[in-house]
Structure 1
Amino acid sequence: MAEHAGLSTEAISLLERGRRTPRMTTMRLLADAMGLDATDRSQLFGTLTEDPPAGWTVPTLAQEMIGRDDDLAGLGRLLRHPGVRLITVCGAGGVGKTRLSIAIAGQEEEHFADGVRWLPVGSFSDPDAFFAAAATTLGATQTRRSQLDSIVEHLRGTRQLLLIDNAETLVRAVGQLCASILANAPGVKMLVTSRHQLEIAGESVYALRPLGVPPIGAAEIDLQQHPASRLFLERAGRLDGQVNDAAEAAAVVRICRRLDGLPLALELAAARTGVLTIPELADTLDRTLAILGRSRDASLTEEVVGWSYRLLTPVEQAIFCRLSVFTASFDREDAAAVCAVELSQVEVLDALASLVSKSLVIRTEDIGPTARFRLLQVVREFARERLASSNEADRVRGRHARHVLDLVERAASELTRPDQHRWLDLLERQVTDVRAAVGWLTEHAPVQAQRLVAASWRWCYLRGRYAEGRAWAEAALSAAPGAPPPVRAGALSGAGMLAFLQCDYEIAGHRIDAARTLYAELGDEDGLAWCLARLGSIARERGDYPTARRLHLQSLALAERGANQHEVGAQLNYLAFVAWLSGDLDEADRLNQRGLETMTSVGDREGTVWALTNAGITARYRDDLTGADLLLRQSLELSESITFREGIAWAYNQLGVLTRLQGDLDTAQRLQSDSLEIHRELGDRWRMASVLDELAAVAAATGDMAGAVARLSAADRFRAEIGAPVPAAETPERERTEELCRAALGDAFRAYALAGIATPPEPA
């Protein structure tokens, strides 16, 4: 019956044993499942009554609670606190409030001399009927006029726990009952489950959150460590928690994250694995949640959100739907900026507070000085559908996109300053909102889209979003070829920089040269200096060190003339880079000190990373391995503090060289493999080639000459693709590795080399 009706076996069991009165929706599901005709349906529905069973008792859990140990412990402590008598467990529909309260009843029953009583509110629509049922259940039946008083009088002097379930259906009546008990029956404690807070004096609210979800990229072995994936796998019949391969593990992660760890949604999704593979289910859920509906009349979003939405005021409904444009978290100022179309900020904040109290908006874990909020995916989908059907969808999305643009432009000015890590983290948290804003602006306001990509390129660079940021920039440039020169120059600069980072030198040079022309026409020396520096970087990676040095010196002169200390420090770093690459270690030392002093003074952590990296590499080429280790570890620590992925990859690479030189080949292999993987994800083929050369040196040192040749050949292939030579400073070590391989392999060297070009190795 459960399978045919789309209900749980636990729900059917509770109905059969008279421990739950079915709702009208449940009755419809049962009638559909049995295929009843009109006469039989009428007879079945005639049995529906709001009279309770003779003795409501606390239900038993048919399945193990998963992932709620901390909640059970926290609620237990709260319930045993002498000053706490009323706890409302609040949360969205389907988050597991009822199950948690049942589990708490079993855990805490021994602390109540007169036991635990169960009052399910969900089957009632009339307060008087609920009071009558409660009075009967508690043994205090009187006339309807005195029901509430008789309940309280009956409870006076007792020590018991009342579990009041699904209070949101009669929240005012439940609040009235609880307030009377608080005032007149001091030995009684109440645990209420509700989507809405009761908002009465003496209420302690326990916000129940969805289950913890696994991170993106979680390994197969890790899925059992995260409650959401464990629940999904167990309900899907994978009692041992095993998945078939990495692809299926990735699909489980996608499902858990798409459903926000909401237990009801996960159980419904697991039920679909009888007809869909887990990857098929993940793909389907990416498109729609409709597959999780229990019937034609009850979608998941309707079941989780519908009741609460219909109880909102018109203003609250409008704000709720508008908030659906936020795909990430937001604070109260974000909400006011986007949602206050015809309303005041105070009205928006009042509505936000109400939505939080009704579990339609949840407060996230606080990060930083301001409270942040978000909508669960299921809730957002419900709100988004209603916004889309309104006449204000485009207006609200436009306000959201322009608000994000303001945020990114504010952040851009901070990304070279001491507080850059905070702004980087903020943008990273908001990446889905930035993505949505770029898409909307590119289609509806492409000039503003170009402003956004011009402001976002440094964040994309520092956090390794090369490909995505570049795609944004190219789309925005194509959408508005006639944008004002200052705006277009900024977008061209960002597109060129991100193309350079992916080693597409021709495209990068074209974009940056076009920006340089515009900056020259505008008389913008800061922009001109920036473009000269980027063209110098292209020359450096192509091995043209004289041109690189000349361009960086020109940029340095413009920066010094404009008193732009940040750009002065950047050019000193670039000139030091060119110096050690070309073998001029004395010049590199001189520039390293100036660059480090300048970047430290302006507080740019990324610039300080490069100064430390340059100094560490220079020390290594001077055979000062101790000094090199100290400087490179400082660089790594600083890179990790701002999650600067390229800096981390460089540090791994150079520390790996040190460990190889010191004879620790296992550590060297690990560090180089980690570096290669990061550079691969970034798309930086210039550095991938150098790391592969180092992996070849490690392989040769272990006697794996065939593996060494394969890595050398893979490095050659990348350099051929991008048109870059082996860096001059790295050439001697590369040649030594190749000589060792030739001597060991003899005539077979060429065959191994060709095989390596065809199939470059994966990182170990």
Structure 2
Amino acid sequence: MDDQSRLLRGGPRDAPQRHQSLQAAISWSYELLTPDERRLFRSLAVFRGGFALESAEAVGSGDTLDILDGLTSLVDKSLLRRVTAPDRSARFLMLETIREYGVEQLAAAGELDDAKTRHAGHLASLSEQAEEALGTAEEEGWLHRLWRDTENLRSAIDWSLRSSGHTSARLACGLGWLFYLHGHLTEGRARLGQILQAASNVDDYLRARVVLPAGVLAWSVGEWDQARTWLEQSLELFRLHGDARREAMATAFVGHVARSTGEFEEASKRYQTALSIYRGLGNDWGIAWALFDLGLAARDRGNDDEALALHEQSLALFRKQGYRWGTAWALWNLGVLAHRRGDDVRARDRFAESLALYRGLDDRRGIAQSLEGLAAVIFVAGRLREAARVLSAADALRAGLGAPVALSDRREYDRTLEGVKASMAVDEFEREWTSGRSLEADEAIQLALDAAQPPPPRLRLRQKPRDPLTSRERQVAALIVRGLSNREIATKLSIAERTAISHVEHIMNKLGLHSRAQIAAWAVRHGLDLPTES
């Protein structure tokens, strides 16, 4: 603000009066306005990051002035700039120096509090409508609408936390989901926590609509006890108020908390309950998510065939609805399963399609996890430098969002990362990791897609008689590259888990290795791979 004020006071002494300073230039334009246009200009200064026509109509104050005529006059006098959004809708921007001048005039006229109250109330209405649209064909459009007004929403929350707990709760309804779906988990968790403290006296139903996304965000950042408390609270309140759709949503997320803490049977039970509720409602969106969640639980138990069938069902439903976010998630999980089964051509295609969808949705967390999936494919192909850079770029995206890898996905992620590290000299890995941190998201995406292309056919030499590993041990080593646990290897090869453990121990002893990551690195160097499953 000080820097902006110095700019306002600057200007050459020999310039015409209206140009001696930016302050004078803005004041000159302001004085050309009619009284109604001045009131409109002042009230629009509460917006940060621009606004749409409907927002100007809701917040602007100009008595008898037609809002569109007023906006046109402000644009003509260079106090506003009109831009066209990607969806071809009109949006209006005010330079920060001009906005600050408008706020000063707003305060001087004694209108600041009223304007901020109208602004927060309007944003709260938009947020509630976005939350209501969850699970409908309008969801994506509403969330996009909110995303364009993120700066306005932040400003409205800051104001309402000091002035109205009720308004801040209304703002949180949709904003919490916006932060979750766009991957801004740390900020979302902090803001909803603040709002819940400020909105302690709101009615139970409104509180439930805040507590649910607050619990979702707490789960997303690993605060499982707090998440469980909030989600169970929302579940009971929605049940009490007869809101079956939101009850099912809360039930599913309680299942996610159980899954994150290793309570797989409890998670499956919650997902089944959610599925029953959604089927009773005839809600295809909810049915698709419940099938997806049951697929996650099956994957956790090592039942990849069951997981594959469930994820294929959820993908078909998401595609039928044209629901891009659910489609991206289902494709990503199908990529994970294809990679585990040794079908890296299919895995690459699934990860690439999910990546394109996440990119279109501007979901940077989703972009990161798709990059990590492609990095696993790149590692198995033996392209170690590229794998390190892609993993680093994904890590940088997550760090910027405060969105760590989910615990349920951590094992396979860690095995890929440790396998890459074990396959490279320390200085080489650090060099590539540093290089990856400097990549822009689009550069990382292109690198990952290029590096994950199927490698040229390798000339497989006949196995030498003195190969250190048996045929079964080579199978086990190839499965370790894919990130499978001992139990999953046992299931895959139809052997006892103790036998799988014994094979892993024999591999380490024969090769002089000390970790599964080293086994994975050895297997990649020696071209071990799995036959693709049909």
Q: CA deviation at 1:397?
A: 1.2
* More helix by percentage: 2
Q: CA deviation at 1:436?
A: 1.2
Mapped to 2, the partners of 1:420 and 1:518 lie a distance apart of 23
Mapped to 2, the partners of 1:678 and 1:292 lie a distance apart of 37
Partner of 2:5: 289
Partner of 2:420: 698
Residue 123 of structure 2: which of 385, 399, 404 is its match?
404
Mapped to 2, the partners of 1:399 and 1:705 lie a distance apart of 57
Partner of 1:665: 384
Q: CA deviation at 1:431?
A: 0.9
Whether the aligned pair in 2 keeps the contact of 1:696 and 1:707 (CA below 8 Å) is: no
Whether the aligned pair in 1 keeps the contact of 2:415 and 2:483 (CA below 8 Å) is: no
Mapped to 1, the partners of 2:508 and 2:373 lie a distance apart of 22
Residue 50 of structure 2: which of 309, 313, 329 is its match?
329
Say yes or no: does 1:339 pair with 2:55.
Answer: no
Instruction: Report the residue type matching 1:314 in the other structure.
Output: P
> 1:621/1:367 Cα in 2 relative to 1: closer, same or farther (>3 Å)?
closer
Cα deviations across residues 187-230 of structure 1 (Å, max 9, x unaligned)? xxxxxxxxxxxxxxxxxxxxxxxxxxxxxxxxxxxxxxxxxxxx
Cα deviations across residues 322-379 of structure 1 (Å, max 9, x unaligned)? 11011122233221211146x24x5332222211111111112443333221111111
> 1:310/1:549 Cα in 2 relative to 1: closer, same or farther (>3 Å)?
same
Residue 393 of structure 1: which of 103, 112, 124 is its match?
112
Report 1 or 2 for greater relative contact order, CA contacts < 8 Å, sequence distance ≥ 6: 2
Give SS of 1:679's match: helix
Partner of 2:362: 643
Whether the aligned pair in 2 keeps the contact of 1:322 and 1:339 (CA below 8 Å) is: yes
Instruction: Report the residue type matching 1:289 in the other structure.
Output: S
TM-score, with length taken from structure 2? 0.76
Whether the aligned pair in 2 keeps the contact of 1:539 and 1:545 (CA below 8 Å) is: yes
Say yes or no: does 1:552 pair with 2:271.
Answer: yes
Instruction: Report the residue type matching 1:696 in the other structure.
Output: E
> 1:333/1:292 Cα in 2 relative to 1: closer, same or farther (>3 Å)?
closer
Partner of 1:623: 342
Mapped to 2, the partners of 1:729 and 1:534 lie a distance apart of 26
Q: CA RMSD in A?
A: 3.2
**What aligned pairs does 1:451-466 form with structure 2 within 5 A after superposition?**
451-466=170-185
Say yes or no: does 1:302 pair with 2:14.
Answer: no
> 1:471/1:479 Cα in 2 relative to 1: closer, same or farther (>3 Å)?
same
Say yes or no: does 1:314 pair with 2:35.
Answer: yes
Partner of 1:79: none
Whether the aligned pair in 1 keeps the contact of 2:378 and 2:386 (CA below 8 Å) is: yes
Mapped to 1, the partners of 2:300 and 2:49 lie a distance apart of 43
Residue 444 of structure 1: which of 152, 163, 178 is its match?
163
Instruction: Report the residue type matching 2:54 in the other structure.
Output: E
Mapped to 1, the partners of 2:77 and 2:321 lie a distance apart of 47
Whether the aligned pair in 2 keeps the contact of 1:679 and 1:687 (CA below 8 Å) is: no
Give SS of 2:78's match: coil
> 1:706/1:541 Cα in 2 relative to 1: closer, same or farther (>3 Å)?
farther
Provide structure 2 residue ranges, at least 5 long, that are not aligned to the other structure: 434-481, 490-500, 519-534
Cα deviations across residues 64-84 of structure 1 (Å, max 9, x unaligned)? xxxxxxxxxxxxxxxxxxxxx
Q: CA deviation at 1:607?
A: 0.9
Say yes or no: does 1:494 pair with 2:216.
Answer: no
Mapped to 1, the partners of 2:228 and 2:485 lie a distance apart of 26
The number of residues matched between the two structures is 443
Partner of 2:230: 511
Structure 1, 491-500 or 465-474: larger mean CA deviation: 465-474
Give SS of 1:364's match: strand
Mapped to 1, the partners of 2:236 and 2:278 lie a distance apart of 18
Cα deviations across residues 138-190 of structure 1 (Å, max 9, x unaligned)? xxxxxxxxxxxxxxxxxxxxxxxxxxxxxxxxxxxxxxxxxxxxxxxxxxxxx
Partner of 1:432: 151
Cα deviations across residues 692-746 of structure 1 (Å, max 9, x unaligned)? 44221111122549979xx9xxxxxxxxxxxxxxxx9654599979969x94589
Mapped to 2, the partners of 1:639 and 1:490 lie a distance apart of 26
**What aligned pairs does 1:551-700 form with structure 2 within 5 A after superposition?**
551-687=270-406, 689-690=410-411, 691-700=413-422
Instruction: Report the residue type matching 2:424 in the other structure.
Output: T
Mapped to 1, the partners of 2:351 and 2:111 lie a distance apart of 54
> 1:687/1:681 Cα in 2 relative to 1: closer, same or farther (>3 Å)?
farther
Q: CA deviation at 1:497?
A: 0.6
Cα deviations across residues 613-671 of structure 1 (Å, max 9, x unaligned)? 12221122221222222112111111111112222122111111111112121222122
Cα deviations across residues 375-403 of structure 1 (Å, max 9, x unaligned)? 11111111110101222221111111111
> 1:655/1:439 Cα in 2 relative to 1: closer, same or farther (>3 Å)?
same
Instruction: Report the residue type matching 1:363 in the other structure.
Output: R
TM-score, with length taken from structure 1? 0.54
Mapped to 2, the partners of 1:466 and 1:705 lie a distance apart of 33
Whether the aligned pair in 1 keeps the contact of 2:183 and 2:403 (CA below 8 Å) is: no
Mapped to 2, the partners of 1:562 and 1:490 lie a distance apart of 19
Cα deviations across residues 555-603 of structure 1 (Å, max 9, x unaligned)? 1111111222211111111111121122101211220121111212222
Whether the aligned pair in 1 keeps the contact of 2:120 and 2:167 (CA below 8 Å) is: no
Partner of 1:371: 90
Instruction: Report the residue type matching 1:484 in the other structure.
Output: D
Instruction: Report the residue type matching 1:336 in the other structure.
Output: E
Cα deviations across residues 13-57 of structure 1 (Å, max 9, x unaligned)? xxxxxxxxxxxxxxxxxxxxxxxxxxxxxxxxxxxxxxxxxxxxx
Instruction: Report the residue type matching 1:306 in the other structure.
Output: S
Give SS of 2:202's match: coil
Whether the aligned pair in 2 keeps the contact of 1:290 and 1:300 (CA below 8 Å) is: no
Mapped to 1, the partners of 2:209 and 2:54 lie a distance apart of 28
Mapped to 1, the partners of 2:41 and 2:89 lie a distance apart of 20
> 1:622/1:652 Cα in 2 relative to 1: closer, same or farther (>3 Å)?
same
Say yes or no: does 1:358 pair with 2:77.
Answer: yes
Provide structure 1 residue ranges, at least 5 long, that are not aligned to the other structure: 1-282, 712-727, 750-764
> 1:414/1:667 Cα in 2 relative to 1: closer, same or farther (>3 Å)?
farther
Give SS of 2:314's match: helix
Mapped to 2, the partners of 1:462 and 1:329 lie a distance apart of 22
Mapped to 1, the partners of 2:282 and 2:137 lie a distance apart of 19
